[in-house]
Structure 1
Amino acid sequence: MGQKQRGSSDVDNEVKKRRRVGFSVIDDGVEAKDCITIYLVSSKEEFDAPESFVIHPVDLNNYFNDDGKIYGYEGLKITIWVSSISFYSYADIAFLSSSDRGKGITDLKSALQTIFAETLVDSKDEFLQKFMVDNDFVRTNISEGEVLKHKAFKEKICDSNQHTDSSASNVEVVRLVGGNMATGQLYSHLIPLTLLLVDGSSPIDVTDSQWEMYVVCQKTTDQQGEIQYRVIGFSAVYRFYHYPDDSRLRLSQILVLPPYQHKGYGRFLLEVLYDVAIAENVFDFTVEEPLDHFQIVRTCVDTLRLLRFDPIQNVVTKAVSLLKQGKLSKKTHCPRLLPPLSAVEDVRKSLKINKQQFLQCWEVLIYIGLNPVDKYTENFVSIISNHVKSEANEASNTVQMDDNLANQEEQLQKLVQEKVNQIKLIAEKVTVLHLRKKGVAVD
């Protein structure tokens, strides 16, 4: 790591000046997010380029003291570069002065080591040299993996210094198994970005053979005609035992690198994971504490699959018909309108979608079936309200609710509106994707 400091004589003079004044300035510290900038670079040329891709971490403050602040520095600026080729990193630390003003001096090197571990190199020269020495890092570590699926993407997915035609961009998903040295090597280089970009993430035990990594790679040909692999994203999946002689897959981590997000790669990876679950006939496929954005992608993927799943179309049509039969507000009993257990079991067996996830998709399927939905909005909101209230009652033992009944009702109405808005968003995305798969042009 590069580090600039003032001469010792200058520091001594400042200490003497403070002693003559008779009191010291309280050190308010600086939040890590306010003095650290992280760049993702793919070449030596991008190192000093102003257009280099900036990474925006979830919460850097977690790695610095209990209050998330850095103490003991004036004019602190930390610039970190991460290679998108081999995921080595280098940090340049610059500051005007350093002194203990009552709260100590934060050990910056130790804090950065906590995040970047073995990928953090000591010098700029060493970091830049990695672009030459470790150019085959990804290809070497996935060479023993199983290629599961190829796909040509129309979107331009090249790094900023490349000009490859988007039509020539091929992507493949490779499966690596835990307990393998190559798997551990690749994962150890990817985990720093996972910690920075995925809220609440923690490293998995890659020595456990029940863990599997699914790596999304961009396959390109360089100017010398050599095939190169670049990591676009990855997922970590654990294979659990399910009584009596079955297994189930649980997705623990998934990350698409920032330059490639919102281009369909996360959806592609999720589709591959479902292909694996179906091909190997596991009990079901689950997700460990999904984040909101991922849950939207997941529900889009699953709803799209359910729209093409014939065994449930009749029960969806029946539920939609009930909502079209007059206003539910005028009826003495408002039904919850849940799918029959037989449909839940069919979906689990054939599509590997578990019950909880199917219920999320079920609401979207009904919304799509009500087209034009405006005419039946009141009935649909009533059904969603029933679902939210039922979920709230089931969670009342673990979730603290406001004692005031009026406040409770306000909270519930807010939850209902948020859920309806999310269902509408997902339904719109799914409808567009469904029409595209059928060959219908959509603006």
Structure 2
Amino acid sequence: MTQFEVQVDQYKADGNKAVCFKLVRSTKDLTNPEIDFHPDMCHQVFGDSETIFGYKNLSIKIYFAACSLTIYLAVEYAEKINKAISGGVEADDIMAALTKDLIPPGYLTNIDQFASRVSSDNEFKPFGVLKQAYTTEDDGRHFEIYQPTMDTPGFREFHSRLQIFLIFFVDAASFIDADDDRWSFLVLYEKFKDDSGEWRHAVAGYMTAYRYYAYPDRVRPRISQFIVLPPYQRRGHGCRLLEAFYSESLADPAVLDITVEDPVDTFQRLRDFVDCRRLLFEAPELFANPVALANGFTETMATVARERLRLNKRQARRCYEILWLRCTNRSDPSAWRNYRLTVKSRLNQPFRKSGRELAKAAAALESDELQAVLGDLSRQQRIGHLAEAFDQLVSDYGQVLDRLASVAITAGARNGAVAENGAAEACPVDCR
């Protein structure tokens, strides 16, 4: 590295380390580093390298009043690069990157004004209708889930601040069209007492779903965004939020089934766990019965999963494979072979059509040798892919089964009231 590069390198910062979030409940939190948390990603704000250029000892403070989500924004640094050092290259305009399309107007840059807003946060009331309330078993903290709409006074502005977290914690996240009334929302709050003994509500997470039309007269909600904020992760709140959405959907006769928009791995594991637990409780005659499971996935299973739980066929089949694995003795060669071949057959379905298309294309070639090579490569690639996909799937299923083994499948499973022994999800996810 040249001397020039060494000198310029001092003015580069990792955006994920430079950005610092706080959820501020009281003015004491402003100087409490224990509640700081940092982004998982910032490429949508600062570029693919996630590097910010032009500052020494850079600190970007994005503080939220824990209840109202009023924002304090500050960019602090020891020194800003000048053009003589950088060869004419300007320092990145951090404020422009943050406020152009991300942080809405109304944010504060004066810490005293922000402290005053935090003190008045006791006036904040959750938006919408209370749908569920629960108390965590391990530490007795209280949580509530509310259902607002964009017509709920004040929620539109509140949502514009809440959705900021998606960009920093959910890969490929994007904002929704808030003017489309087919969106539905659930917001999770912690209900806590402040220093004066008054009850307040701090934001802990939220989710969105879009209601698609299902012929002839039904709707098919598609979960789009789902995030539990970092200070609340790995405590089971993702399960509670998803269960609340399921409860709302089951109560609506217009809902045919529920889908998810390209779920990321973290959400898929959460969804698998919740759905498998529900199937074990709601349809044990099919999904907890080793004989029924070994006989294959049936239309009856798909229908029961849809009618009792609003699961779509694809997710019902996935849960069937997880619960069949739960009952399969891997030490029994015959039982394990039956499971493996059945799952691989399902995994191979997308290749069957492509394989036929490849064969037709090869048949049109003049060279028999080229045709043979294409056929061999396709077969080898398919076999390799299937083996890899199966092993990964069994590993993923195993994580769900480990978590199922840590809970009691009781009547409380219907609404998420299940004791867990420390196994919980990390759940900042956008399902798109």
By relative contact order (CA 8 Å, sep 6+), the higher-ranking structure is: 2
Which letter does structure 1 place at the counterpart of 2:349? S
Please report the RMSD computed on the Cα atoms of aligned residues, expressed in angstroms: 3.2
Following superposition of structure 1 onto structure 2, how do residues 124-273 of structure 1 map, counting pairs within 5 Å? 124-137=111-124, 139=125, 141-142=126-127, 145-156=128-139, 166=140, 169-273=141-245
The reply on whether 1:275 has 2:262 as its aligned counterpart is no
Q: Is the 8 A contact 2:44 2:167 kept in 1?
A: no
Deviation at 1:297, TM superposition (A): 0.8
When structure 1 is superposed on structure 2, of 340-349 and 414-423 the one drifting more is 340-349
- TM-score, normalisation: structure 1: 0.78
1:72 paired residue number: 54
Q: Write the distance in 2 (CA, Å) between the matches of 1:415 and 1:350.
A: 30
Q: How does 1:67-106 map to 2 (within 5 A)?
A: 67-87=49-69, 88-100=71-83, 101=86, 102-106=88-92
1:36/1:77 contact within 8 Å kept: yes
Q: 1:253, 1:397 → 2: CA distance?
A: 37
TM-superposition CA deviations, 1:247-282 (whole Å, max 9, x none): 221111111111111111110111111111111121
CA distance in 2, matches of 1:390, 1:30: 48
1:299 and 2:276 equivalent? no
Q: How far did 1:66 drift?
A: 6.2
- What per-residue deviation string (whole Å, max 9, x for no partner) do you get for residues 86-135 of structure 1? 32232232132322324332111101214323363212222222211333
Structure 1 residue 392, shift from structure 2 partner:
4.5
1:122-167 alpha-carbon deviations (Å, 9 max, x no partner): 1222222221133333x1x51xx121122221233xxxxxxxxx2x
Give the conservation status (yes or no) of the 8 Å contact 2:279–2:287. Answer: no
Report the alpha carbon displacement of residue 67 of structure 1 after superposing the two structures with TM. Answer: 4.8
In structure 2, the gaps of 5 or more residues are 358-374, 422-432
Give the conservation status (yes or no) of the 8 Å contact 2:54–2:92.
yes
Match of 1:121 in 2: 108
Counting only pairs closer than 5 Å after superposition, residues 383-398 of structure 1 correspond to structure 2 as: 383-393=342-352
Query: In the comparison of the two structures, how many residue pairs are matched?
Result: 387
Partner of 2:41: 59
Shift of 1:83: 3.2
In structure 1, give the amino acid aligned to 2:58: L
Query: Which of the residues 107, 110, 113 maps onto 2:96?
Result: 110
Range with bigger deviation, 357-366 or 401-410: 401-410
Gaps of 5+ in 1: 1-22, 157-165, 323-336
Change (3 A) 1:124 1:438: closer
Q: 1:402 to 1:47 in 2, by over 3 A?
A: farther
User: Could you say which residue in structure 2 is the equivalent of 1:433?
Assistant: 407
The aligned residue for residue 343 of structure 1 is 301
Q: What amino acid is aligned across from residue 342 of structure 2 in structure 1? A: I
Distance 1:127 1:220 in 2: 21
| CA-CA distance at 1:320 after TM superposition | 4.2
Calculate the TM-score normalised by the size of structure 2: 0.79
* 2:60 partner letter: I
Alignment partners' CA distance in 2, 1:176 and 1:213? 6
Whether the aligned pair in 1 keeps the contact of 2:67 and 2:200 (CA below 8 Å) is no
Which residue is equivalent to 1:359? 317
Percent of residue pairs bearing the same amino acid type? 25
Separation in 2, partners of 1:37, 1:64 = 11
Residue number in structure 1 paired with 2:23? 41
